[in-house]
A and B are shown apart, each in its own frame.
Chain A
């Protein structure tokens, strides 16, 4: 059996052999591997860039109190960035699925259009959800814009949903039943914190505090970025505070504390910070 940890090891091994630097997860709460600086900053600018990494991902509104076999507020993505995107990138991807142990001939593989967009990052691209027997297992995107900047060269982002792919490898239909190792299940590791976080995110969190945090994080990011575009600012710390505002916004959203009207305003505030981070970063490039 391919254990959950084997899947990660096999993907890392595969992409390392294809010339990727295998990085480690980013140590802040993020909603997707795209937020990792290796993707956000890596896709900007002209330099070639090939990386792969696992990214634990937080999406508070997707929580189901551990009650849904496919949806959780915390899960793992495996993220690959290839810049520039190679001509055979689709084949590289399909080969990676074979490399982790999937017999693709036994499945219905489909590339279903997806006009991907991250409104908080001001990022967009075209690509697909890759479906295996009608389940989305990967987001496959040719980035066109990051933080509002048109990209050149184009990066290809491959984001694997690790739990879902592992379900196919292990023949399970509930992610909590996955074997992480021979003796340990995914549920043993994550079920309790899934339930606790859902209760916190949906029912218990202090929205007044979260509102305050949003303001504080935003103010600090702004302070770091300065008033004018500049090559000399502390871009990475500013970006970290941007990520914090994004997560706090997601937490508020999970509590239903953001009205439909306010939503776009909050998102625009985060995006504005991200955009200024990207701008200062580009200015700082040699």
Chain B
């Protein structure tokens, strides 16, 4: 079967569904790699079909795959089937044996289809056949069925008896191969050349003639298929509306990504609400608006929340319709905010000190006791940390009190309604209870930073409490064997670890990891995070590794200081020379299995070069050490390079280190070890530096 090469075609596949879960789609499309595209590419690859470009878009009501420049047929594939050992296949006369001919007959192959090739070191007869290359159009049904069935969402459902599952019912399919509609069938669904568009909650059906017509119909109806373009459009519209009120948008990236998948054809509106609700905390206002109504808040130039909301609507809306919608939304907002006022009133009837007692009935982590126990632990840990940090008495007092109150707001109605307000409500309720502002702030800052873009705690007590809260979580999880895996981190331990490190670095806390954590595994985990954090901040990975392999590597702030100092000199010639010295000594010491003497013994020297290296070492040892102690790494490193680079080059050229005489050899190695240690135990392990090797 020969297929003449055909022109490349575009392929379109639309899954028309009822409203898909917005947060699931947002999760997928906020990733740098779109898993929907990756999956489709993989399936095409396994079907040996080439596509120039694969794009997958989604709106609440459709997932659309668009494949550009798709090959008309599968790539050819050669299949080799082993049938018989050669000596059984051919007689001495070179003629095919009876057995071979029978096998070939059964396999529907001719002698001409066979080749001889080696397998397991023996010659065998193989049947060599080209797998028939099918036309792409004929494979699309199978490809898209596999695709649809392997799209993975957190929760799937059934809606009919076909056995098909998807996050919400699929109601239509459409598929084009070039101009040719493909009537593929999946479950009870048969692809048709039509597309559904919702307009004002009415379902309109449009016949689709070809792929360009499909895009045109959507465009004409205002539907933005591309999530990126749609998000941009929404964002611009919100900014425009905010500016019109002399304000800016209250930042809520989650809300924006979710709303992006609640609309196909976005439009915006802006409206005021009653000023009386401004007495609610800003966080309560904006969270209620976002969670209960998907409305955006505005803040003025001073960062104060304004009595106004923005909404994103779906579908073209006239001014008259907008008026009706605004009035209704405002009415709903009033009812919801009244509810928040109710919670606030109820919550402030009982002081946090009373509420705290009930924490006994709240589980912290299964196997790690109650929240009350955690709260008591935080108080105890605060004592120690305050000492370690040398906190001012006022800060220490605030920290202890804040640690005592920290978790009590978990039992308030407001946090029950809006869990993301934990800590924040604690702050407001602490104020209501007449606690010091430093206490309230620290309680409010205990969960900071909640996400990467968040600021760190601003007060000394808040920083300490936040650090302890996270350190306690890490310790508990590691003790319970709940450490994160490469793909799963359900307790957010990586984020917590990074937050701890950021706080230590920002506040230059003189803390060691050993002091914070007893678990060696946890200490290593923290060092891994520290490496990731410092490289994120722009330090070279090898420099960070060198520092972490050097002295004081469990002192977080010290590590960052050292990485910074080394980075300053990393491009210098003397740095490279020092690296060479360390590298060569480390390499030669690697091979050694003997225990080396603690002291180098000049009496055992047999070569003049040995003596000279030793003299250098003696002469420069203290200078290098002193410079290192003063953290003058520039001076220390240049002295080190100056003293050893040339002479060690000569040494390695001329002296055979591994002398036959064990004593001589061990003494030589001890000398080299001393030279190496002079740098690695005082500054960093330069053998980790890769750039110059």
Stretch at the interface among A6-14, A26-34, A108-116: A108-116
In the bound assembly, the distance between CA atoms of A95 and B156 in angstroms comes to 27
Instruction: Please tell me if B295 contacts chain A, counting CB pairs below 8 Å.
Output: yes
Residues of A contacting B313 in the complex (Cβ-Cβ under 8 angstroms): 108
Closest Cβ–Cβ distance, residue A44 to chain B (whole Å): 16
Interchain CB contact (< 8 A) of B332 among A87, A126, A135, A144: A135
Residues of B contacting A18 in the complex (Cβ-Cβ under 8 angstroms): none
Residues of A contacting B295 in the complex (Cβ-Cβ under 8 angstroms): 134
Chain A residue, CB-CB nearest to B263: A110
CB atoms of B334 and A94 under 8 A apart: no
CB atoms of B325 and A261 under 8 A apart: no
Instruction: Please tell me if B78 contacts chain A, counting CB pairs below 8 Å.
Output: no
Chain B residue, CB-CB nearest to A132: B328
The verdict on A104 contacting B200 (CB below 8 Å), with A113-B21, A168-B328 known, is yes
In the bound assembly, the distance between CA atoms of A87 and B169 in angstroms comes to 9
* Chain A stretch 232-286: residues in CB contact (< 8 A) with chain B: 259-262
CB atoms of A67 and B294 under 8 A apart: no
CB atoms of B200 and A69 under 8 A apart: no
Residues of A contacting B325 in the complex (Cβ-Cβ under 8 angstroms): 106-108, 133
CB atoms of B328 and A152 under 8 A apart: no
Instruction: Please tell me if A3 contacts chain B, counting CB pairs below 8 Å.
Output: no
Instruction: Please tell me if A173 contacts chain B, counting CB pairs below 8 Å.
Output: yes
Instruction: Please tell me if B363 contacts chain A, counting CB pairs below 8 Å.
Output: yes
The verdict on A126 contacting B334 (CB below 8 Å), with A109-B201, A134-B311 known, is no
Instruction: Please tell me if B479 contacts chain A, counting CB pairs below 8 Å.
Output: no
In the bound assembly, the distance between CA atoms of A186 and B653 in angstroms comes to 101
In the bound assembly, the distance between CA atoms of A107 and B320 in angstroms comes to 11
CB atoms of A105 and B200 under 8 A apart: yes
User: How many residues of chain B have a CB within 8 Å of chain A?
Assistant: 52
Residues of A contacting B338 in the complex (Cβ-Cβ under 8 angstroms): 67-69
Residues of A contacting B24 in the complex (Cβ-Cβ under 8 angstroms): 113
Instruction: Please tell me if A84 contacts chain B, counting CB pairs below 8 Å.
Output: yes
Residues of A contacting B294 in the complex (Cβ-Cβ under 8 angstroms): 112, 134
CB atoms of B328 and A142 under 8 A apart: no
Interchain CB contact (< 8 A) of A91 among B203, B335, B342: B203
Stretch at the interface among B3-11, B158-166, B497-505: B158-166
Residues of A contacting B155 in the complex (Cβ-Cβ under 8 angstroms): 115, 126
Closest Cβ–Cβ distance, residue A259 to chain B (whole Å): 4
* Chain A stretch 83-111: residues in CB contact (< 8 A) with chain B: 84-85, 87, 90-91, 94, 104-111
Interchain CB contact (< 8 A) of B157 among A94, A125, A134, A153: A125
CB atoms of A90 and B18 under 8 A apart: yes
Instruction: Please tell me if B619 contacts chain A, counting CB pairs below 8 Å.
Output: no
Closest Cβ–Cβ distance, residue A156 to chain B (whole Å): 8
CB atoms of A104 and B334 under 8 A apart: no
Residues of A contacting B486 in the complex (Cβ-Cβ under 8 angstroms): none
**Interface of B (DSSP majority class):** mixed
- Contact count A vs B, C-beta below 8 Å: 125
Instruction: Please tell me if B551 contacts chain A, counting CB pairs below 8 Å.
Output: no
Instruction: Please tell me if B191 contacts chain A, counting CB pairs below 8 Å.
Output: no
Closest Cβ–Cβ distance, residue A254 to chain B (whole Å): 12
In the bound assembly, the distance between CA atoms of A153 and B161 in angstroms comes to 7
CB atoms of B314 and A110 under 8 A apart: yes
CB atoms of A173 and B23 under 8 A apart: no
CB atoms of B362 and A261 under 8 A apart: yes
Instruction: Please tell me if A71 contacts chain B, counting CB pairs below 8 Å.
Output: yes
Residues of B contacting A64 in the complex (Cβ-Cβ under 8 angstroms): 339, 342
Interchain CB contact (< 8 A) of A71 among B167, B262, B334, B335: B335
Closest Cβ–Cβ distance, residue A133 to chain B (whole Å): 4
CB atoms of A260 and B328 under 8 A apart: no
Instruction: Please tell me if B324 contacts chain A, counting CB pairs below 8 Å.
Output: yes
Instruction: Please tell me if A2 contacts chain B, counting CB pairs below 8 Å.
Output: no
In the bound assembly, the distance between CA atoms of A107 and B311 in angstroms comes to 13
Contact with A along B639-680 (1 / 0, CB 8 A): 000000000000000000000000000000000000000000
* Chain B stretch 498-534: residues in CB contact (< 8 A) with chain A: none
Instruction: Please tell me if A35 contacts chain B, counting CB pairs below 8 Å.
Output: no
* Chain A stretch 120-158: residues in CB contact (< 8 A) with chain B: 125-128, 132-135, 142, 144, 152-154
Instruction: Please tell me if A70 contacts chain B, counting CB pairs below 8 Å.
Output: yes
In the bound assembly, the distance between CA atoms of A56 and B331 in angstroms comes to 24
In the bound assembly, the distance between CA atoms of A135 and B335 in angstroms comes to 10
Closest Cβ–Cβ distance, residue B166 to chain A (whole Å): 10
Residues of B contacting A108 in the complex (Cβ-Cβ under 8 angstroms): 311, 313-315, 317, 325
Residues of A contacting B160 in the complex (Cβ-Cβ under 8 angstroms): 84-85, 87, 153-154
Residues of B contacting A127 in the complex (Cβ-Cβ under 8 angstroms): 168
Chain B residue, CB-CB nearest to A141: B157
Interchain CB contact (< 8 A) of A85 among B19, B159, B342: B159
The verdict on A133 contacting B332 (CB below 8 Å), with A94-B201, A106-B324, A126-B168 known, is yes
In the bound assembly, the distance between CA atoms of A1 and B19 in angstroms comes to 32
Instruction: Please tell me if B42 contacts chain A, counting CB pairs below 8 Å.
Output: no
CB atoms of B159 and A142 under 8 A apart: yes
B20, B201, B334, B336, most chain A CB atoms within 10 A: B201
Residues of A contacting B361 in the complex (Cβ-Cβ under 8 angstroms): 259-262
CB atoms of A68 and B335 under 8 A apart: yes
Closest Cβ–Cβ distance, residue A149 to chain B (whole Å): 14
Chain A residue, CB-CB nearest to B295: A134
Chain B residue, CB-CB nearest to A69: B335
In the bound assembly, the distance between CA atoms of A84 and B160 in angstroms comes to 8
CB atoms of A128 and B201 under 8 A apart: no
In the bound assembly, the distance between CA atoms of A281 and B144 in angstroms comes to 41
CB atoms of A113 and B19 under 8 A apart: yes
* Chain B stretch 38-61: residues in CB contact (< 8 A) with chain A: 60
In the bound assembly, the distance between CA atoms of A190 and B538 in angstroms comes to 66
CB atoms of A128 and B19 under 8 A apart: yes
In the bound assembly, the distance between CA atoms of A64 and B346 in angstroms comes to 11
Instruction: Please tell me if B358 contacts chain A, counting CB pairs below 8 Å.
Output: yes
In the bound assembly, the distance between CA atoms of A168 and B332 in angstroms comes to 11
The verdict on A126 contacting B321 (CB below 8 Å), with A107-B328, A173-B334 known, is no
The verdict on A142 contacting B203 (CB below 8 Å), with A133-B328, A133-B332, A152-B161 known, is no
Instruction: Please tell me if B22 contacts chain A, counting CB pairs below 8 Å.
Output: yes
Residues of B contacting A153 in the complex (Cβ-Cβ under 8 angstroms): 160-161
* Chain B stretch 124-183: residues in CB contact (< 8 A) with chain A: 155, 157-161, 167-169, 171
Chain B residue, CB-CB nearest to A85: B159
Closest Cβ–Cβ distance, residue A12 to chain B (whole Å): 22
Residues of A contacting B201 in the complex (Cβ-Cβ under 8 angstroms): 94, 104-105, 107, 109
CB atoms of A111 and B293 under 8 A apart: no
Chain B residue, CB-CB nearest to A93: B201
Residues of A contacting B18 in the complex (Cβ-Cβ under 8 angstroms): 90, 111
In the bound assembly, the distance between CA atoms of A132 and B329 in angstroms comes to 9
In the bound assembly, the distance between CA atoms of A168 and B200 in angstroms comes to 16
Closest Cβ–Cβ distance, residue B337 to chain A (whole Å): 10
In the bound assembly, the distance between CA atoms of A110 and B18 in angstroms comes to 11
* Chain B stretch 561-611: residues in CB contact (< 8 A) with chain A: none
In the bound assembly, the distance between CA atoms of A126 and B643 in angstroms comes to 74
Residues of B contacting A104 in the complex (Cβ-Cβ under 8 angstroms): 200-202
Residues of B contacting A91 in the complex (Cβ-Cβ under 8 angstroms): 203
Residues of A contacting B202 in the complex (Cβ-Cβ under 8 angstroms): 94, 104-105
CB atoms of A173 and B159 under 8 A apart: no
Residues of A contacting B342 in the complex (Cβ-Cβ under 8 angstroms): 64, 67-68
In the bound assembly, the distance between CA atoms of A203 and B524 in angstroms comes to 54
Question: Could you list 14 A-B pairs, sorted by A, with CB under 8 Å?
Answer: A68-B338, A68-B339, A108-B315, A109-B201, A112-B294, A113-B22, A115-B21, A126-B157, A133-B328, A154-B159, A167-B331, A173-B328, A260-B362, A262-B361
B: residues with CB less than 8 A from A are 18-24, 60, 155, 157-161, 167-169, 171, 200-203, 262, 292-295, 311, 313-315, 317, 320-321, 324-325, 328-329, 331-336, 338-339, 342, 358, 361-363, 411
- Counting from the closest, the 9 A-B pairs by CB-CB distance are A173-B331, A133-B328, A70-B335, A111-B19, A113-B21, A134-B293, A259-B361, A105-B200, A261-B361
- 15 more CB-based (< 8 A) A-B contacts, given A64-B342, A142-B157, A168-B328: A67-B338, A70-B336, A71-B335, A87-B160, A91-B203, A107-B328, A110-B262, A112-B19, A115-B155, A126-B155, A134-B293, A134-B328, A142-B159, A153-B160, A154-B160
